[in-house]
Amino acid sequence: AWTVLRDLAGIFRGMTYWGDNKMYVLADMPRDVWHIYNHASVVEGKFTFADPSETTRNTAALVNWSDPANHYKDTPEPVYDNDLAMRFDYRQLEMTAIGCTRQSEANRRGRWALLTNGIGEVVTFSTGMDVPPVGEVIGVAANELAGRTIGGRVSAVNGRNITLDRAADVKAGNRLFLNLPSGTAQARTVQAVNGNTVTVTTPYSETPEAECNWGVDSDDLFIALFRVTGTRDNNDGTFEVTGTTYNPDIYSAVDTGARLDERPVSVIPPGVQAPPGNIVVDSYSTVNQNIAITTMRVAWDSVLGAVAYEAEWRRDSGNWISVPRTSSLGFEVQGIYSGRYLVRVRAVNASDVSSVWATSSEVNLTGKVGNPPKPVGFIASDNVVFGIELSWGFPANTDDTLKTEIQYSLTGREDDAMLLADVPYPQRKYQQMGLKAGQTFWYRAQLVDRSGNESGYTDFVRGQASIDVSDITDAILEEIKDSEVFKDLIESAVDSSEKLAELSDAIKENADGLAAAVGSNKQTAEAIIGNALAIADVIVRQTAQQGANSATFEQLREVIATETEARVTDVTRLEAKTAQNEAGVTEVRQALSDEAQARATAVDQLTASTQVISDKADSASSKADAASGKADAAEQASSQNTADITTLRQVVTDTTSSMASRLEELGARTDTASGGIQNNAIALITSTLAQVDQRVRLSAQYGDSKASIDRIDNVMASDREA
Question: Which of 157, 72, 83 has its CA nearest to residue 118?
Answer: 83
pLDDT for the residue numbered 631:
35
pLDDT for the residue numbered 34:
93
> Residue 49 pLDDT > 80, yes or no?
yes
Convert 457-515 into a string of H (helix), E (strand) and C (coil): CCCCEEEECCCCHHHHHHHHHHHHHCCHHHHHHHHHHHHHHHHCHHHHHHHHHHHHHHH
Query: What average pLDDT score do residues 653-662 get?
Result: 84
The pairing of strands 22-27 and 14-19 is antiparallel
DSSP 8-state code for residue 3: H
Judge whether 600 and 590 are in contact, CB under 8 Å.
Answer: yes
For residues 111 and 90, what is the distance between their CA atoms, to the nearest angstrom?
A: 15
pLDDT band at 672 (very low <50, low <70, confident <90, very high): confident
> Residue 457 pLDDT > 90, yes or no?
yes
Question: Would the CATH topology of 280-365 be identical to that of 376-466?
Answer: yes
Helix/strand/coil for 428: coil
Which residues have C-beta within 8 Å of that of residue 160, sequence separation ≥ 6? 191, 199, 200, 201, 202, 203
**Whole-Å CA distances, 568 to 522, 592, 630:** 20, 7, 11
pLDDT for the residue numbered 531:
33
pLDDT for the residue numbered 527:
37
pLDDT in tens, 593-621: 887 788 888 878 888 888 654 343 343 33
For residues 141 and 467, what is the distance between their CA atoms, to the nearest angstrom?
A: 80
pLDDT band at 346 (very low <50, low <70, confident <90, very high): very high
Determine the residue type at 704.
D
pLDDT for the residue numbered 276:
94
Helix segments in 119-181, DSSP class H? 143-146
> Residue 662 pLDDT > 60, yes or no?
yes
> Residue 359 pLDDT > 60, yes or no?
yes
373 upstream amide cis, omega within 30 of 0: no
pLDDT for the residue numbered 471:
56
**Whole-Å CA distances, 515 to 501, 509, 519, 521, 649:** 21, 10, 6, 10, 30
pLDDT in tens, 98-112: 888 999 989 998 988
pLDDT for the residue numbered 216:
95
Q: Is the dihedral of CA 162, 166, 167, 171 positive or negative?
A: negative
> Residue 630 pLDDT > 60, yes or no?
no
pLDDT for the residue numbered 611:
67
For residues 476 and 219, what is the distance between their CA atoms, to the nearest angstrom?
A: 72
User: Across the chain, what does the average pLDDT equal?
Assistant: 81
> Residue 509 pLDDT > 50, yes or no?
no
pLDDT for the residue numbered 123:
94
For residues 590 and 574, what is the distance between their CA atoms, to the nearest angstrom?
A: 18
Query: What average pLDDT score do residues 186-209 get?
Result: 94
For residues 474 and 154, what is the distance between their CA atoms, to the nearest angstrom?
A: 84
pLDDT for the residue numbered 370:
67
pLDDT band at 558 (very low <50, low <70, confident <90, very high): confident
Query: What average pLDDT score do residues 306-320 get?
Result: 91
Report the CATH number of the 376-466 domain: 2.60.40.10
Where in the chain are the domains? 1-27, 31-51+126-267, 54-119, 280-365, 376-466, 471-499+533-718
pLDDT in tens, 396-419: 878 778 899 999 999 999 889 999
Query: What average pLDDT score do residues 515-520 get?
Result: 38
pLDDT in tens, 128-169: 988 998 889 999 999 988 888 999 999 999 999 999 999 888
Question: Which one is predicted more confidently, 351 or 364?
Answer: 364
Question: Which of 237, 231, 244 has its CA nearest to residue 18?
Answer: 231
DSSP 280-311: EEEEEEEEETTEEEEEEEEE----TTEEEEEE
For residues 226 and 135, what is the distance between their CA atoms, to the nearest angstrom?
A: 9
Helix/strand/coil for 10: helix
Instruction: Return the CATH superfamily for domain 280-365.
Output: Immunoglobulins (2.60.40.10)
**Whole-Å CA distances, 110 to 51, 77, 92:** 21, 8, 11
Query: Bridge partners of 3?
Result: none
> Residue 520 pLDDT > 50, yes or no?
no
Query: What average pLDDT score do residues 458-482 get?
Result: 73
pLDDT for the residue numbered 126:
95
Say which range, 21-35, 114-128, 300-314, 464-478, has the weakest mean pLDDT.
Answer: 464-478
Report the CATH number of the 31-51+126-267 domain: 2.40.30.180
Judge whether 597 and 565 are in contact, CB under 8 Å.
Answer: no
pLDDT for the residue numbered 242:
94
pTM as predicted? 0.44
Question: If you average pLDDT over each of 271-285, 621-635, 707-721, which comes out highest?
Answer: 271-285
Task: Report the percentage of the chain scoring pLDDT > 90.
Answer: 34
pLDDT for the residue numbered 9:
76
